[in-house]
Structure 1
Amino acid sequence: MEKVKLGIVGLGRLGREHAANINYNIINAELAAVCSAVPEEVESVMKEMNPGYGTTDYMEMFNDKNLDGIVIASNSAFHCKMICDAANAGVKNIYCEKPLGMTLEEIDLIKETVEKNNMNIFQIGYNRRFDQALMSMKEKIDAGFIGKPILIKLVNRDPEWNREALLKFSPTSGGLVFDMLTHDYDVARWLIGSDAETLYGIGGAYGYEGLAELNDIDNCIISIGFENGVMGYMETSRNATYGYHVEYEVFGTEGSLRLGTTPNKDRVVSMNRNGVTTECVKSFFEFWLPTFEAELQDFVDCIQNGKQPKAGLEDAYKAVQWAFAAKEAVDKRTVVSMK
């Protein structure tokens, strides 16, 4: 079987990781083209990975009929235009990093454009669905291991930020809820098989002077009532001084499943006269590293086998819808209905 020829636009940290996985690790794929608005990034990848060609004009790739699919790993602000341009150019298979779009109007336009152009595969980068531990949790929940799910709890704490870097990042990120919690909501609705019905939130800017003036926050909690009756609780923060901290728990009538109660980097425990310590994972990138290859492997397999991805257009759309409702709930400290 011929290799799936992929082009990638966006060669920042995650984009370069995707390019490397396609080039070195996914044996049924070929890195055929790379694109970035930064010429030095294109030159660097061309030198290291030797793809078919490199360009600073993404339309050159979108119009290339020799490519089997496109990977979009650009800045979130460009997702809408790039997805629509690709679909209108006849690209039939797209993988795009989250979020789908930055406004409700954008995601409506993307959905309309993708469906109008009869795209074969649209995959969104909700990589946590490819984590082996979460996949095991999902299997056990579906098999009835914990009985009927009652409560799902999710904790997502980013390492402490450099203040100046956060203030620069915030205006283009969509804010804390939009930037950090769509991953968690996608995991929650996937694990328990239900969409949110009602939301209540509270949060604030606790650790970074100047963030509130940008209408952003650094900590929040959100309570969720799901359509199937499951209760949900989310907590997120940008103030974890000890590293990157993720927890998941699904509690049911017959038991509980938990993941990540301590963010250990590895299984080493250090002991000396100063006490007992364990090193923590330092970033989301380190924690979720194996999932980046797994999600692109799934994209390639879907193209070859004509199947649909684990996280598709509808999942991408619903996550952004939820994020705007959740932001309203936090900003107004009120209950918001998803109906």
Structure 2
Amino acid sequence: MKEIRVGIAGLGRLGKVHAENLAFHIPGVRLTAACSIVSEELSFARDRLGAESVFSDYDEMLSKAELDAVVIVTSSPLHCEELKKALECGKHVFTEKPLGVNVEECKEAEKAVEAHPDRIFFLGFMRRFDPSYLYAKKKISEGAIGRPYLVKATGIDPESAVEGAIRFAPTSGGLYIDMASHDIDLMRWFLGSEAREVYALGANFKHPEFPEAGDVETGCALYQFRNGAIGMLHVGRTAAHGYHIETEIVGTEGSIRISPMPAKNLALLYDKRGVVTECVEGFPERFREAYRNEMQEFIRCVRSGEQPEVSVYDGTRATELSFATTKSFREKRPVTL
């Protein structure tokens, strides 16, 4: 079996997750190179992960390292340009969401992918590879809940991480652009349709820094899909108990609920507070298996030449919907797509 040589760009919190999966958990892969502007992260890649070469310049990594594929986990404004460069250099590409920081960049990315049909392009919508979400999709396809007509999605970051969200707020693009793309993608995936209208609201009760940055700490949005189905979204940044991700798909013959309680494990703690279920604290913990599964699927696609189900166009649709939701919130009116 031919060894797939991979270079990774970006070694922050999520970059480390992908890098460790590539280095230790996916057979037939060699983490050949790593790129970061942070010297400590390069030391981590070389000493802990065994990367053969490290670079502080992305272009230099593309030109000097012998690579079959590139994994892009850099800051969002760099994704579009970096994926284009990698494709032009003949590399297969995995890039984390977002595809671009605006719709125009997404369209540029589409053109770059279309210009290289012989290369694999994989977008990191990892929830599609989470065992629970995969199970729900399978049951829906089998008709277990009849025809799905409503998706209720909740995504709330923990209060323990709010200081980082406050620092990021002035440049994040807003709550919906920052936090809603995964839930929006799941709505499209489960309902099998595109949204045609959205109405969004926002609220702030705890951290005045968000309104000062032109943002809010909590948002809700209602979507009407072209097939008549409905999406309900609740996103926020102040979950007291931990990282809260919950999805419910309602159909004509039943419903499926995923993670109504974001439990850390199957253990129950009995103490003076009563019966306590400890919760996950962040996305690397909640979606550990999903991140590994999606990277395995990327490598499988590279080997087989088979294009993945998640496409560049899914990234554009999610970005378009995130911006439409933000527009509705800011203009206080429904927005038609």
Tell me the equivalent position of 1:49: 49
Map 1:110-125 → 2, pairs under 5 A? 110-118=109-117, 120-125=119-124
Instruction: Determine whether 1:94 maps to 2:79.
Output: no
Tell me the equivalent position of 2:221: 222
Cα 1:274–1:335, aligned 2, differ >3 Å: closer, same or farther?
Answer: closer
Amino acid at match of 2:77: A
1:257 shift after superposition: 0.9
1:215 shift after superposition: 1.3
1:332 shift after superposition: 1.7
1:250 shift after superposition: 1.0
Tell me the equivalent position of 1:81: 81
Alignment check: 8 A CA contact 1:36 1:56 kept: yes
3-state DSSP class of the match of 1:63?
helix
CA distance in 2, matches of 1:121, 1:320: 21
Map 1:290-305 → 2, pairs under 5 A? 290-305=289-304
Tell me the equivalent position of 1:254: 253
1:165 shift after superposition: 2.8
Amino acid at match of 1:60: E
Map 1:1-339 → 2, pairs under 5 A? 1-64=1-64, 66-88=66-88, 90-118=89-117, 120-161=119-160, 164-338=163-337
Cα 1:119–1:99, aligned 2, differ >3 Å: closer, same or farther?
Answer: farther
Alignment check: 8 A CA contact 1:77 1:172 kept: no
CA distance in 2, matches of 1:162, 1:246: 15
3-state DSSP class of the match of 1:233?
strand
1:221 shift after superposition: 0.6
Cα 1:193–1:163, aligned 2, differ >3 Å: closer, same or farther?
Answer: closer
Task: Structure 1 unaligned segments of length 5 or more: list them.
Answer: none
CA distance in 2, matches of 1:278, 1:78: 39
For residues 82-121 of structure 1, the C-alpha deviation after alignment (integer angstroms, 9 at most, x for no partner) is 1222233x23311001101111221122222332344521
CA distance in 2, matches of 1:288, 1:58: 27
Alignment check: 8 A CA contact 1:70 1:91 kept: no
3-state DSSP class of the match of 2:209?
coil
Alignment check: 8 A CA contact 1:264 1:278 kept: yes
Query: TM-score, with normalisation over the residues of structure 2?
Result: 0.96
Alignment check: 8 A CA contact 1:161 1:238 kept: no
3-state DSSP class of the match of 1:232?
strand
CA distance in 1, matches of 2:330, 2:298: 36
CA distance in 1, matches of 2:179, 2:29: 30
For residues 3-29 of structure 1, the C-alpha deviation after alignment (integer angstroms, 9 at most, x for no partner) is 111100001111111111111000121
Amino acid at match of 2:202: G
CA distance in 2, matches of 1:149, 1:10: 38
1:287 shift after superposition: 0.8
Amino acid at match of 1:16: K
User: C-alpha root-mean-square deviation of aligned residues, in Å?
Assistant: 1.5
For residues 116-145 of structure 1, the C-alpha deviation after alignment (integer angstroms, 9 at most, x for no partner) is 344521111110000001101001111111
Query: TM-score, with normalisation over the residues of structure 1?
Result: 0.95
Which segment drifts farther, 162-171 or 125-134? 162-171
Identity %: 36
Task: Structure 2 unaligned segments of length 5 or more: list them.
Answer: none
